Amino acid sequence: MSQQQHNVLILHLKSCRGRKVRVVREHYLRERVPCYSSVCQADCVNDGKVLPGDLTHYVVPDVGVVVDYLEILEDRELQGVVFTQTACQAVQHSKGRRQYNRLRNLLKDPRHDCVLFANEFQEYSYCPREKGESQEKWQTRCVYSAAVWYYNHLAGMMDVVMITEDQEAVAQYSSLNSGVYVISVQDYLQNFWPQLQAAHDLYGSISQALQEKESEGNEREFSEHLPAEVLEAGIKSGRYIQGTLNVNKHRAQTEAFITMEDLSNKNTDMSCGVLVYGDKNRNRAMQGDMVVVELLPKSEWRGKVTALTEGQGDEKSGEDESKPLPTGRVVGILQRHWRDYVVTFPPREGSQSQSRNSQRILAVPWDRRIPKIRISTQQADALQDHRVVVRIDSWESTSLYPNGHSVRVLGRAGELETEVQTILIENCIHVPPFSDAQVREDVCPSKTEPHIHVGQQLAERRDLRESHLVFSIDPKGCEDVDDTLSVRSLAGGKLLELGVHIADVTHFVTEGSLTDLEARTRATTYYLADRRYDMLPAVLSADLCSLLGGVDRYAMSVLWELDAHTLAVNKVWFGRTIIRSAYQLHYELAQAILNGEPTEVPELAQLGSEEKDTKLAQLTQALEMLTHVARHLRAQRDRGGALELEGVEVRAQLDEERNITALVPRQPLEVHETVAECMIYANHWVARKIQETFPHQALLRRHPPPRQEFFNLLVESAKARGFTIDTRSNKALADSLDQAVDPEDPLVNRLLRMMTTQAMSEALYFSTGTQSIDQYYHYGLALDRYTHFTSPIRRYADIVVHRLLTVAIAMEGEVGPVKALASNKELEEMAQHINKKNRAAKRAQKLSTELFQCLYFKERDPQTDQRCVADAVIYSIRDDGMLVFVPEYGVKGPVYLKNREGQVVAAGHDGSCEWQSGSVRRYPDHITTASSCGSSTFRLFDHITVRISVHSTHCHADRINLEVISNRPYHSTEPQQPRSQGRCQLVQEVVRLAEEAHQQAQEKAARRPKLSREEREFCQSKTPNLYSLLEEIREEALRDLNMVPQVCFLLYK
C-alpha cells in the first residue's frame, strides 16, 4: 500500500427527510485507487467488473444527473459509465435507501457496463471544499476532477465525457481544455446515442416532471408524515402499528387494510387487519407500501362492505356492513412499494386550457388500486387511448395526486400486444430477449466445438447408454424435455430398478454467469395463454439440455432399487450420468401402447417386422412396469392423505395473427399420472437427501395446512346439500370430498373441490434453517419433505436444488474441496424471490386467461349468438346476488339480482328473468327476490342460464359480465346440437375452425413477410410439460380455478 494522507472531514449533509446531518469521517487519501478500466496501463488492482476498452468514450455523470436521471443511466445500452463516490453518496443522502440500493444493484450487475470510482479517496482527484462554496458547486467540481483524473490516468487513450444539468458548469469547465468534454444530458444523448429513443423519451418526461415540481403550489391536502424516529418510537411503545397497505380493488377509493406480519403475539382484534377508510386517512400511502398507522377512537371504527355492487354502501351502511373493525389512519410511510405502472391517458375533455408545450394530465392506472397519477407531457393528444408506462416521482402533502413521468408507450389500448405487455409490466415481469453475449459467454465458447464431450465426462459420470432403456413421455411437440424415465428388472426378477433422469442444466449454466443471473432474475419460465417466455435461452432449453431422443445427453439421475414384490426401497443412488433416450413418446402414444392399441412408434418405423415386434414388446413391458410402480406409489400417498384432483386442460389456440381459433382440450390419461407420480417421487427423495446433508441450508418446498376458518364456506355449502365435510386432516378431507357426490349432478362435487382449493394455503419454497422440521410438511401431496428437482429448464428452484445435490454427492465421495454453499439467510432470500416471481407468473397467467376469454366473447353479439348463452351453477350467495361458475367456459363471476336503480331480477313461469322493482333477501343457502310478479328463489348449487358479455372499460382490463336470463338450467334451442355435451360440442367446432384457420394461415404465410426473430422467439405456442401442469394442479392450482397454467379449466372427479 502506498503512502496515505490522513484528513478529518466534517460533512454537513441534508438527509432525505430534510434534516441536517453532521458526519465526522476520517478520510484516507491514497495514490492508488482502482480505475476499473481494461485500458489501464498503471497496473490498478481492478478486481471484478471492468469497463471494456473498445468503447468510444467513458461518461462521468454529475451528482444532479445521477440523482434525477438514474433511470436513463440504467439503460443497458449505455456503456462505459463511471459513477463517482461523490454522486453515490449524494443519492444515498437525498433520495433514501431505495434509490441508493437501486444504484448499488446497478453497480453490481455484470450486465450493466458501469463502475464505481472512489474519487474522494484518490489523492489526485480529491478536492476539499472551499470556503463559501455551495455544496452543489463543490460536488460538481469533485466530479469534474474525477473525470479529469480518468482522462489523465488512461493517458488520453479514452475520451471522457462529463454530463451535467448545471449550465454554468458546462460553460465554466468546457473552457478549461483539460481533455474532458463537459456537456448537458440532452446534448450527450443527441450526440452519442441519437438512436436510443427510449433514453430520449425518458429524458423529456423526467425533465418536464422536474420543472413542474418547482412550480407547484403549497396548499396542504394531506397531513405531513411523521419523522422516522417518531414512527419508530411509536411502534416500539405500541402507540402505532406497522404493516403493509392493501387496497380493496373493488372499493379502491375508500377501503384499504393494513396487514401485519406477526400478529400472533398481540391483539387478536387485529387478526383481520386494520381498516383505513377514505383517502385522507390513507394519507398518500399506496398499494404495497410499508406504513405506520394510528388507531382511531372506537367510535370511529367501521365495518367493511359485503355487498356485490359498488357505490351503494354509504346510504345503507347499517345493513350492508359487517361488524366494526379496528380503523386507523396512516401517520407515516416506512417504505414505498412504487413500481412501474401502466396508465391510460384519458380522452381530452373539450378545452383544457393548458400551456401549449406541456399539459398536466391525470392518467388512470390500469391497476384499480392505484390512484390517478399526474403526468406532464407534450404528447397528451397523440397518446390518447394509448397505454403508457409511468413511474411516480413524488407525492407531496400539497398534492392531491402523485406526480410521475412517462417511461415508454406500449401501444393502443385494446390491442392484444398492448394488453399482454400491460399484464407483464403490471406483474413486474421483465423478459427482454436474451443477449448474444449471454448465449456466447456461457454456452458456445466456439461455434465449431461440439458441446457434449462424452469422452471427457466419462470419468465423472455413470454411463447408462448401453445398460438402460431410457425414454421420455411429454406432450406432443415438446422441445424442452427435462425429464426421462427408465425401469428394469434386476436379480432375476427379484428387484426392480426405477430411474428418473433429469436434464443436467447446471453442467452448462455456471453459477454467477450471465445466463445464470438472467435465469435467477426470471426465476421461472412464464406461460401466458398464447405464448411463453423461457427462463433459459433456446440453445440450452431446446437443444443442449433437452433430453432428446437418439442423442447423448448429460443427466442428473436418481435410481431406486425396489423389492419387486413389495416395492419397498432397498437403496437409492443419486449421481451424474450420460444417457441416450431411446424413445421420445407423447402421452397419447404411450397410453395407446399400454392399451395394446395398434400404434406406430416413429423410432421403430424403419425396422424389420421381427425386430420391431421385439423392441415394441420391450417398451410395452417397461411402460407396464412403470404403471405398476406408479400405482403403488400413488396408493401409498393416498393412504397418507394426498388430495385427489384431476384436470382437463383447455388451451386457446391462435392463428398466426393471434386470433383465437380454438379452445382445445386434452383428455386425462393414466400415463399422465404415472409420469407425475415418478417425478413427485424423485422430488421427494432429493428433498430427503439435501435436507439430511444440509439441515440448515437446503431449498425445500412446503405446503402449510389451510386455516380451519377458511373451510367455513365449504362446510356450510356442503351441508346445504346434505354432505358432511371433515376438515380435521388432509386424509379426512380427501375422504369426505370423495363421499360428497350427488349422483344427479357431478358439478356439486366439482364445486366443493373448487371451494377446497380456495381454502388452501400457498405452497412455498424455503430454506430448511428458517423453519422447524414439523413445518416442512407438504399438505397437498401428503409428504414430509418435498422440493423441486425435475424441471431445471423452466424453474430456477430446480437449478438451486441440482447444485445442492451436486455438493451433497461430492461430500459423500469426498471428491476434492467442496464449494461454499449459500448461507441459510441467502438461500431464504432466494426462496422468497422465487416465491414472489411464481406468484407474479400465476397472476400473469390468470390475467392472460381472462384476456383471452374476453377476446373470445368480445367478437360475438351476446343478443344473437347462442354461444354467449350458457349454463351456470351458483356456488356462493351474497347480499345482492351470487357467484356462479360457467363450466362450459371455465368462467367464474358475480351475477347481480339487484341493480343500481333498485330493480330486482324476477323470474316468470317459464323461468325467464326480467328486471322489476322489488326487494331482495339473503339466507344462508339461498337468496330470494320479491316483486309484483311474486317471488323467485336462487339456491346454492342451482343451475341457471346466463348470458355472457364483455364489459369494456377504457382504462382497465375488460371484464366478463354475467347476466341471469333464466332461473332454470340451460337448454339449447337448437335441437340438432344438443348442448348437454357443450364442451365437446364447442371443442369439436373450434377444432374445425382451427384447422380451417390453419389452412388459411398457411396459404397466407406464403404471401406474408416472415416473422422477425424477436417475434418468433416470443410467439412460441408450445405447451408446457403436462406433468408440470398436473403437478401444479395437484399441489396448489386448486387454489383458484383460474390460476391454472394456460387457459386451463379444471374438471374435478
How far, in Å, CA of 132 to CA of 7, rounded?
Answer: 20
Nearest approach in angstroms of CB 42 to Zn ion is: 4
**What gap in Å lies between CA 45 and CA 34, rounded to an integer?**
6
| Min CB(35)–Zn ion separation in Å | 3
Closest separation between CB of residue 380 and Zn ion, Å?
49
| Residue 291 β-bridge partners | 243, 333
CB of 32 to Zn ion, least distance (A): 9
Q: Are the C-beta atoms of 390 and 361 separated by less than 8 Å?
A: no
C-alpha cell, 154: 488512461
Determine which helix (DSSP H) or strand (DSSP E) holds 738, and give its type and residue range.
helix 730-739
Nearer to Zn ion, 35 or 748 (CB): 35
| Cα angle, residue 851 at apex, residues 845 and 855 outer, rounded to 5° | 145
Encoded amino acid at 871, one letter: D
Least spacing, CB of residue 106 vs Zn ion, in Å: 21
Whole-Å CA distances, 220 to 227, 279, 330, 394, 401: 17, 14, 16, 15, 12
Q: How many CA atoms lie within 13 A of 401 on its CB side?
A: 16
On whether the CB atoms of residues 776 and 486 are closer than 8 A, the answer is no
| Residues in contact with Zn ion by the rule CB under 5 A | 35, 40, 42, 44
Nearer to Zn ion, 115 or 740 (CB): 115
Least separation in angstroms between CB 57 and Zn ion: 17
Nearest-approach distance from CB 49 to Zn ion, in angstroms: 14
Q: How far is CA 458 from the centre of its chain?
A: 39
3-state DSSP helix/strand/coil % of the chain, to nearest 5: 35, 25, 40
Residue (40 or 241) nearer to Zn ion, CB: 40
Q: How far is the CB of 36 from Zn ion (least distance, A)?
A: 8
Residues 914, 648: Cα–Cα separation, whole Å: 36
C-beta closer to Zn ion: residue 43 or 597? 43
Cα(537)–Cα(440) distance, integer angstroms:
11
Nearer Cβ to Zn ion, position 121 or 192?
Answer: 121
The three-state (H, E, C) secondary structure of 565-602, written as one string = CCCCEEEEEEEEEEEEECEEEEHHHHHHHHCCCCCCCH
Comparing CB distances to Zn ion, the nearer of 119 and 838 is 119
Question: Least CB distance from residue 60 to Zn ion, whole Å?
Answer: 15
Closest distance of CB 41 from Zn ion, Å: 7
Specify the residue, 124 or 257, whose C-beta has the smaller distance to Zn ion: 124
Q: Which is nearer to Zn ion, 44 or 625 (CB)?
A: 44
User: Across the strands, what pairs with 928?
Assistant: 921, 937
**Residue carrying C-alpha cell 322493482:** 917
Judge whether 676 and 637 are in contact, CB under 8 Å: no
In whole angstroms, the minimum distance from the beta carbon of 145 to Zn ion comes to: 16
Pick 44 or 55: Cβ nearer Zn ion:
44
Q: Which is nearer to Zn ion, 35 or 734 (CB)?
A: 35
Whole-number minimum distance, CB 117 to Zn ion, in Å?
A: 10
8 A C-beta contact, residue 413 and residue 386: yes
* Strand ranges, E, within 466-568: 470-474, 483-490, 495-503, 526-527, 532-533, 552-563
Give 410's strand partners. Answer: none
Element (H, E) at 870: strand 869-878
CB of 159 to Zn ion, least distance (A): 16
Radius of gyration of the chain (CA): 32
Q: Which C-beta is closer to Zn ion: that of 74 or that of 113? A: 113
For Zn ion, give the closer residue by CB, 32 or 947.
32
CA distances from 180 to 52, 117, 124, 343, 473 (A): 19, 16, 16, 41, 63
**β-pair partners for 345:** 384
Q: Would you list the DSSP string of 182-195?
A: EE-HHHHHHHH-TT
Shortest separation between residue 155's beta carbon and Zn ion, angstroms: 10
**Separation between Cα atoms, residue 973 and residue 626, nearest integer Å:** 48
Residue 40 C-beta: closest distance to Zn ion, Å? 3
The partner residues of 392 in beta bridges, in order of sequence, read 404
CA 1005, distance to chain mean position in Å, is 34
Nearer to Zn ion, 30 or 939 (CB): 30
φ, ψ of residue 820 in degrees (nearest 5): -65, 135
Q: Helices then strands (H, E): number in the chain?
A: 26, 39
372 grid coordinates: 390517478
Mention every residue, 6+ apart, whose C-beta is less than 8 A from residue 973.
866
Give the nearer residue to Zn ion in terms of CB position, either 180 or 502.
180
Between residues 38 and 190, which has the closer beta carbon with respect to Zn ion?
38
Cβ-based nearer residue to Zn ion, 35 or 714: 35
- Integer Cα distance of 577 and 579 in angstroms: 6
- Please identify, using beta-carbon distances, which residue of 40 and 604 lies nearer to Zn ion: 40
Q: Using CA atoms, how far apart are residues 531 and 267, in angstroms rounded to an integer?
A: 47
Q: Which is nearer to Zn ion, 58 or 527 (CB)?
A: 58
Is 910 in contact with 984 (CB distance < 8 Å)? no
CB of residue 153 vs Zn ion: minimum separation in angstroms?
Answer: 6
Minimum separation from the CB atom of position 152 to Zn ion (A): 11
How long a stretch of residues is the chain? 1053
Cell of 269: 382484534
Across 684-701, b (16+ Cβ under 10 Å) vs e yields bbbbbbbbebbeebbbbb
By the 10 Å C-beta count (0-12 exposed, 13-18 middle, 19+ buried), 597 is classed as exposed
What minimum distance in Å lies between the beta carbon of 154 and Zn ion? 7
